[in-house]
Structure 1
Amino acid sequence: MTSVVEVTCLNRPRTWQWLRGAIIQAVLAFVISSLFFSLPVSADNTLPVSSGPKLEKVTVKLKWRHQFQFAGYYAAQKQGYYRDEGLEVALHPRDLLENNIEQVLKGDAQYGVSDSILLLYQSRQKPIVIVAPIFQHSPQVLFTLKSSGVDSPYKLNDKLLAFYKKDTDGLPILAMLEELDVKPVMDRVIIDKSPIMLVRKEVDAYAGYLANEAYFFKKNGVPYDVINPMNYGIDLYGDMLFTTRDEVEQHPERVAKMRRATIKGWQYAMAHQEEMARYILKQYGLKKSFQHLMFEARVIESVMDLNSVPIGTLNEGRLRYIADLFQKQGLLKGSVDLQKGIYRPEDETLQLTQREKEWIKQHPVIRIGVDRAYAPVEFVNEQGQYSGITPEFLDFISQRTGLEFVPSLHLKWPEVLAEFKAHRQDVLPAVIETEERKAYMNFTQAYLKFPMVVATRDGVPYIANFNQLRSKTIAVVKNYAAHEKLHSVFPDVALKLVDNAKEGLEAVANGDVFGYVDNVAVIGYHIKKYGLTNLQISGEMPFHANIAMGVRQDWPELLSIFQKVLQQIPKPRYVEMTNSWLQINYKKEYSWTQLLLILAPVLLLLAVFIFFNRKLRHTQDELRASNEKLSVLSVTDHLTGIYNRQYLDQVLDAEVERVDRYHSKLSLVMMDLDDFKRVNDTYGHLVGDEVLVKSVETIHHLVRKTDTFGRWGGEEFILICPETDLHQASQLAEKVRAAIETTEFSQDIRLTFSLGVAQYHAGESVNECVDRADRNLYRAKRNGKNQVSASED
C-alpha cells in the first residue's frame, strides 16, 4: 500500500526589506528581459542567465538521444520554468557507451531519466530515489513482420530476437519472456543496427519503442505486428526522473523545485505538441522529420495516460507489485526499501481535478453493495452494522473527499451483483478482479492482498500438487472470485457451492466435503470465531485474493478519486486500519460458569491426560518431519528433485562473495536440451517430464561433490563449479554433452545438449557471468547444437 509521510509546511513571514529587494529585482528583470530572451541557448543546452540571483546548476542525464521522448524537460527550459525555480539545468543526451544511472550515482549528474530498472539498483542497496514517473506505461515492445505469423510471445521459442547489448535496456521484454517461460535466441546487436534487419528477415523479431520503430515500418509500408508486454500482464513504469539519496537529504528544496518545474514542463509540452516538435527540430538538429516527432508525441501521450493520471503520479502499491514480479522471476535479488527509494513531496494534499471536484458536488452520496458474510474484510455484525476492514478504508476516503457512503445491508451476494449490474448500486468496495467482472465494472488498485488457501480437516498432508484435488469435492461460495478461479484453473474438481464461508467450513468439519477454498484471512477468522478446531490450512492455491474496489463503468471520475485517495494512505494509518482485524485476540477474564463446568469432569480429564500427551508428542514428531519435508521442498525442483532457481540464486551469491574475498575460481555451465519442444508436441508433457528426469539422473553421475546442480527453468539447467577455471569447466561440460548424446530415452527418443561455459571475473556482478554463460549457450545452438561453447566475449 501507499505509504505517505504528511508534513505541514509553514509560511515564513516576509519582511519589508525582503519585499523592497524583490521589487527592485523585478524592475531590473523587466528592463533587461528583451535582451535576455533574444540570447541563443548555450552549447550545454542551458539558457544563459541574467545578472539577477545566482542560479543553482543542475545536470540531467537523459535516457537516450534528443527526441520528443524528453519534450517536457525541453519545455521547462524553453518556458523558463527551471529558471523561475532558481535552477540552471543542463540536459545531456545518453552516451550509448555509458550507463546513465551509474553516472548519477558517481556524481557526474544530480538527476537522470530511466525506467523500472531503477528497482534493480535499489535491490542492490544503491541509493537511488525515484522522484516522479513521467510515463505510466513502458513503450518498449517487440516488432515482427506480419508475414511471419509470429504475432504472440509464445511463438518466439527458438526464434532469433534482435535485442539490446545490455539487459537493462530491455527489462519489460525480458520480464515478459521470463514470466511466460519463452526462450528466443538473443542476437545482441541493437544500438549499432536498425530495424531494416527485420525487413530483410535477418531476425524474427526486433526490440524497440512504439514511438520510434513503429514509425519506420509505417513510413515504409511494411506490415508489422506488435508484441506488447503490457498485453501479457507486464505493465511497468516507463521514463522516470530519479536522483540519489544524498541529493534528497542534502538538497530537499532543490528536488522539490526540479520536480515541480519538470511536471510543469511536461504539462506545457503535451498541450503544445506541434510547437515543441518544431522547437526540438530547430534546437537539436535532429535527423527525424517533423512528422516522426508528431508520431512520437501521440505515442508518448498514450503511455503517459494523461486522461486519467496526473503527470508525476507514483503508485507505491504498483511499484511494490513490479518489485515482487521481478523477484519472482529472479531478475531482482535483494529486497527493495520503497520507504527510502521514493521521493515524497511535502504537499500531500489530495489533488483533484476541477472535473472531479464538480463530480463530487453532483454525486455526494454513493450506494455501496455489501457482502454480508465476508468477515473480516466486510460483513454485517450482530447489531446489524456494517463492519470489518473495508469500512475503515471507506471512512478514510470519506474524510478526504466528503463523499457519503450508504451500504445496502439486506441483500445476499448474488442479489448485490444483480443490483450493481442494474446501476442500483454504485460501488462494490471489496471485490477481486476477474475476467467476468471486467465486463461490467472497473477496479481500483488492490488495497488488501491475501493468499488463497484450502482448509481441510486435521491430519491431511500438505497439498503440494493440486492434482490431489481432482477426486475430491471442494466447497466454495457461489459467485465469489474463488468460484470462477477454481472453475477456470481446475475444471475437473467437483465443487459444492455454498452461501457463505461458515457454511463451507462447517461442511469440511462435518466431513461432507474434502476442503473449502477462500482467502486466508476469511478462513482464519471463521475457524476462530466458530471454534472449528478440527480444521487446518493444508495448501496455498495458485491464485491470490487481491481485494480492490469495483466502480460502475460509467463513473470513471469516481474511480480516479478512489485511486488518488488509496495512493495517499499513510503507512501507520494503513496498519491501524488492518491489524486490529487480522490479529488474534485472547480472552483475559475467567468465566466462572465455564470454570465450574471444567472442574466437574476434572477426574475424567486426568484419566485421559496421558493419552492426549502421547498423541501430542506423536503430532509434534509428525510436524517436525513435515517441516523438514517442507524445508527440502522449498529448495528443490518438484519434478526432477534437484535444486530450484531460488536456491541456485543463493548459492551463486555465496560463491561470488567467496571468490571476491579469497581470490579463488568459479565457473558456470549453462545447459539446455536441444529441440525439447518437439518432444512435448509429439509425445506429450508426461513423456517430456520423463526425459527431463532421466537427463538429470544421467548428469548426476558426472557432477562432483563440490558442484551445485539445479534446474534454471524449463529444460535449462546450470552447474555451479567452485575452484574451477574455464578449461576445467569446459571439460566437464563436454562429458555431460557426450553422456546425454548416448542416453536412450523412452519412445526411442534421442536428444542432445547445447552447453555454454563462463568463468567468473572478480568484481563483476553474478548476472554478468550468468549472461555470458547464457550467450555461449545460445552461440552453441546457433552453431549447430550438440556442442560446448566457452567464448569469453
Structure 2
Amino acid sequence: MKLLIFLLFITSLYAGEKIVLQLKWLHQFQFAGYYAAKEKGFYNELGLDVEIRERDRSKNNIEQVINGEAQYGIADSILFLYRSKKEPLVIVTPIFQHTPNVILTLKSSDIDSPYKLNNKKLLFYKKDTDGFGILAMFEHLGVKPYLDRTKDKKSYEALMKHEVDAYTGYLSNEPFYFKEKGMDINIINPANYGLDLYGDMLFTNKDEATKHPERVKKFKEATIKGWYYALEHKDEMIKIIKSKYAKNKSIKHLRYEADALEEIIQRKSIPIGTLDKGRIRYTLELYKDHGLIENEIDVDDYIFDSFNKKIDKNTILNSKENDYLKKKKVIKMCIDPDWMPFEKNDRGKHIGMTAEYKQILEKEIGIPIEVVQTKTWQDSLKFGKERKCDIFSLVMPTKERLKYLDFSTPYLKIPLVIVTNIDEFFINDISSVTNKKIGVVDGYAYGEILREKYPKMNLVKLKNLKDGLEKVRNKELFGFIGTLATTGYHIQKNYIGELKIAGKFDEKWELGIGTRNDEPILKSIFDKAIKQISLKKHQEILNKWISVKYEQEMDYKPILKWALGISFVFIIVLLFILRINRKLNLEIRSRKETERKLQELSITDELTTLYNRRYFNIIFTKLLNSAKRDNHNICFALMDIDFFKPYNDTYGHIMGDKALRDVSRCIKDSLSRADDYCFRLGGEEFAILFKGLSKEQATKLIKGIKQNIEDLKIEHKKNGASQYLTASFGLVVKDAKEVKNENELYREADALLYKAKENGRNKVCVNDETV
C-alpha cells in the first residue's frame, strides 16, 4: 500500500499541467495546429497536458473561457467587443491573418456583391459571435439583408435548393460541397469591402494570464510550433484528423481545407503569431465609428505580451518610487518646440518621435506626462533652471546642465553631421574646416562639446536649425552642424538640390531624459521605464520618422596621387583584385535583385501586378500620416469596372483577365508621381491613393483615368453606359488633418462610388458632386 501511494506521488510530480482548449467549432483542419502540438508531443515537452474540446453549439464558447470552464479558447475579432464590455479576457496570439468567414451565393443568382443582399434571405449563425465580421460589413455598407438564424451543420443544402438567397460559411469548408456537386458560386469576402479583420485568435482569461503567465507563454510557443508542423506535413495531419478527430469528413475535403487555410494564415509572408497593434486599433476605430464600441480601450490591457509586462509593473518600480509618483500625480516635461523629426510644438500639440516615446513612458510610470508650453529651446532651458519642468524629453549632458539636471540612460544615439552647399567637396577630416564659419544652434549640447574638442573651430551661435540652413544656402556660413536625423529631414523637405550632408563626426549624439536633480528619484524611475522599451518599438519609431540615407562620397585626389607612385606590378595586382570584386558585386547585385523580386511578390497582385490589398493596408496609413505631417490634401478613389460580371459571362474569364490587366496597365500609365499608388483590392475593384493635389487637380486626374479606360476601346456589348468597357469612381479629397482614420476615407469613397453607379456609371463622383 505504501509503495502504491509512493508511486502515485511520484507520478503526480511528473504529470503535465492539465488545461482545456475550447474550440470555436467542430473538429476539422481549421484546428490542425492544435492537434499537431498535442499529437507530436509539443505540449507534453513543455509540461502541458492539453484536452481539446469540440464546440458545444448550445453554449457560448467565449464565455466558457471567461468563466473558467476552459483555460484557452479560439475566436475572431468579436473578442474586441467583449473587451469593450470589460470582460476579463486576454488575446494570446493571432493564428489566421484574415478571417475565413464569407458569404456564398449561387452564380445563377447574380448576387455578386453585398449591395445586392438588401432584403435578401441570408442563412446566418444562431449567435452574432460566430459571424461578427459579416455583420460589421453590413453595418459599414448600410446593407440590410433578412437574417435567417437556423443555420446548422448541413444547412448549406438550403442554398443548393434555392431556399435561401445566400449562406454564411467558411472559405475553407462549405465551398468544397458546391465544388463537389459542380455548382458555380460567388464568394463575397468582407476583406474586399474594407473589413479585413483577424480570423482565429488564441485567447485566455485574465485569471490564467495573471496567475500562470509562464504557462501561457509555453502554450503559445507549442501552439505556433504545432501550426508550422501542420502546414508543412498536411498529408500526415489529414490522416490524424480523419482517424482521431473528424471521422465523418473525407480525405478530399480535409485536403481542400488545408490548402484554403494556407492562404488565410499566410505563413510564408507573415510569421505565424504576428500581431499588429495598428491593425487592432484600426478595428477598434471601425467598431467605434459604427457605435459598437463607446468607451476607449487600451490595446495593451488585453494583448498578452503587453498585459504580462503590466503584471510585472510593481516589480519595475520599488515602493519608494511608486509612492513618489502617487504624490506627484503629473510629470511636467519641457521639449524643444521646433526640432523635427524629434519633436515640435505644433500649434499647442506635441508631435514627433518624443511624442511617441512620451506615450510609452506614461504607460510605464502610470501617471500623465504634461508638456510645458515654450516658444524656443532657450526658453525651455530657462524653465528647467527655474524648476518649471520636472524632465526634458531629449537632452545630452553638459557641464552647465549638470548644475540643475540628472541624465537618464540614453535612448537615442544619432550621428552628428555637417551640412554645406551642394557644390562643396565632401569633408573627410572635420578639423580641415576649422578656419571657416560653421553654425550651431545656441544652447545645444554638442556646441559645448565641439568647442572643447576643436578649440580653433569658428563656431557661430544661431537661433535655430532653420536659421542655420538658410545662412548656409545664402553662403553666409560655410556649414551647419546638426544631427543626421534633423538636418536630413529638413533638407529633404525644403532644400533638395541646394544643400547636402558633406561630412560626419566620429561622435554620436547620445540623448536621454534630463530630470531635475533636486528630485533624484526621477532619474531612477525613468532609467527603469526606458529599459522596458523593446528594441522592436525603438525601431518602429525610428522607421516612421527617420528615412534619411547618408552616403559618403569618395575624394579621389589622394588616391590618384598615390596611384601615380605605385609600381606596374602593383597595378596588375590591383586590377586582378578589382576583377574579382566586380564578379562579387555582380553576384551581390543578382542576389539583391532576386530578393527584391520576392518582396514584390508578397505585395503585388499576381494577375495585374498592381499592389495588393495587404500592401494597401500598409500604405494607406503611411500616406495619410505623411499628408498630415506635410499639411497636404489626401486623395482617395475607389473604382469599379462597370458591369464586369456580364462582361465575364459574355466574353469568358480569359478575356476578363486580359481586360483586368489592360485596365491596370492603363491606370499605372496615368499615374506619374512617386507617391501615386494604385491597388487591386479584389475582383474588379481598384483603389487609387495620392496626396498633395487640390480637389480640381485630383478630379482632373481621375477623370483622365476614366477617359483613358474607355479609350482602350475594349468591346462590351452589355455595358449600359457605353459600347466599350468603362469604370465608375468615388473620389474623396480632404485636408489630411481633418481625417480621423483610414476607415472614414474608405467609407466616404465607397458611398461616392455607389452614387456614381446610381447616376448611370462611367462617372466620377467627387465630394458629393458627380462629374
TM-score bin, normalised by smaller chain: 0.3 to 0.5
User: Which of 1 and 2 has higher RCO (CA within 8 Å, sep 6+)?
Assistant: 1
Under a length normalisation based on structure 1, what TM-score does the superposition of the two structures give? 0.44
Q: TM-score with structure 2 length normalisation?
A: 0.46
